[in-house]
Amino acid sequence: MTALSPRQNEIVAMARVQGRVSVDELALRYEVSPQTIRKDLNDLCDRRILSRVHGGAVVASSVENLAYEARRFLARDEKAAIGRAAAALIPNNASLFINIGTTTEEVARCLKDHEGLLVITNNLHVATLLYPHPKIEVIVAGGPVRRSDGGVVGSAAVDLIRQFKVDYAVMGASAIDPEGAILDFDYREVRVSRAILENARKAILVADSLKFERSAPVRIGHLAEVDTFVTDRLPSEAVRRLCAQEGVDVVETRPDSQEEGEVAAE
């Protein structure tokens, strides 16, 4: 699957802010034909990022996550930068959990040069990235493998995770609401994420700023429960104040991004 074009990235970002985009308005904005915009929207809908409606498209359902391949290409540069920043927080000779998510996979990608790590994960992609490295030990949680994204979910994964007390948890999420609730789509995955959060001495949340523009139905926890939040940027002063009040260290990889950066973010 090819990456989204700059125009498609902008269309997705606008749809997330407005909830809906119109073929005619987009054609006027970009000075292209309606047929060109329809092709863009059809491609985005094929990737399950948007859903077509008469005259345009709307954001995909808030009760079903985007397809894994689509998530991989959304905010790709932002996720890579978040991965580098989060990996830099983890010292050699540490133990850590890494949960399901395309952003946590970027963290794993940046841990390859670390030494003496013990990594426990329910993410088969993370395990595949790290197990070839002789100075990193990988333990994979057991249980059913979710075919859509290689995530291991269920009670067996929870039971294994609860046997450990590790130095760090590296956690992703599908959405963060304005009050700081950390959200996801699958209650089985959330049970594993809760176990990860409860059995780590320090929790690092990794999520791009567009997670504040999404919604998901199942609560993992709250920003107050994490020690460090690594993101491309915080979208509001209210969220920044919340993190300051709760003692959450914030690492922003693009702190000076403004409206124009928002459009390019995903």
Q: Name the packing angle between helices 23-30 and 34-46 (round to 10°).
A: 120
Specify whether the CB–CB gap between 1 and 47 falls below 8 A: yes
SS3 state of residue 189: helix
Q: Do residue 138 and residue 168 come from a single domain?
A: yes
pLDDT of residue 48: 79
pLDDT of 85 above 80? yes
Kindly list the distances between the CA atom of residue 135 and the CA atoms of 115, 119, 211, in Å, as whole numbers in the listed order.
5, 11, 33
Domain around 173: 70-257
Element (H, E) at 117: strand 117-121
Q: Do residue 120 and residue 235 come from a single domain?
A: yes
Spatial distance between the Cα atoms of 106 and 126, rounded to a whole number of angstroms: 9
The domain total for the chain is: 2
Specify whether the CB–CB gap between 53 and 20 falls below 8 A: yes
Spatial distance between the Cα atoms of 195 and 31, rounded to a whole number of angstroms: 51
Q: Do residue 146 and residue 213 come from a single domain?
A: yes
Q: Do residue 121 and residue 30 come from a single domain?
A: no
Task: Please choose, from the candidates 10, 89, 82, 84, the residue with its C-alpha nearest in 3D space to the C-alpha of residue 50.
Answer: 10
Q: What is the CATH number of the domain that holds 55?
A: 1.10.10.10
pLDDT of residue 47: 86
- CA 140 to the chain's CA centroid: 20
**How confident is the model over 196-220, as a mean pLDDT?**
92
Q: Which residue has the higher pLDDT, 62 or 11?
A: 11
Average pLDDT of the residues of the chain: 89
Spatial distance between the Cα atoms of 152 and 121, rounded to a whole number of angstroms: 9
Query: Is residue 128 a part of any domain in this protein?
Result: yes
Kindly list the distances between the CA atom of residue 180 and the CA atoms of 162, 222, 240, in Å, as whole numbers in the listed order.
25, 6, 10
Spatial distance between the Cα atoms of 199 and 194, rounded to a whole number of angstroms: 9
pTM of this structure: 0.76
Q: Do residue 151 and residue 112 come from a single domain?
A: yes
Q: Do residue 108 and residue 188 come from a single domain?
A: yes
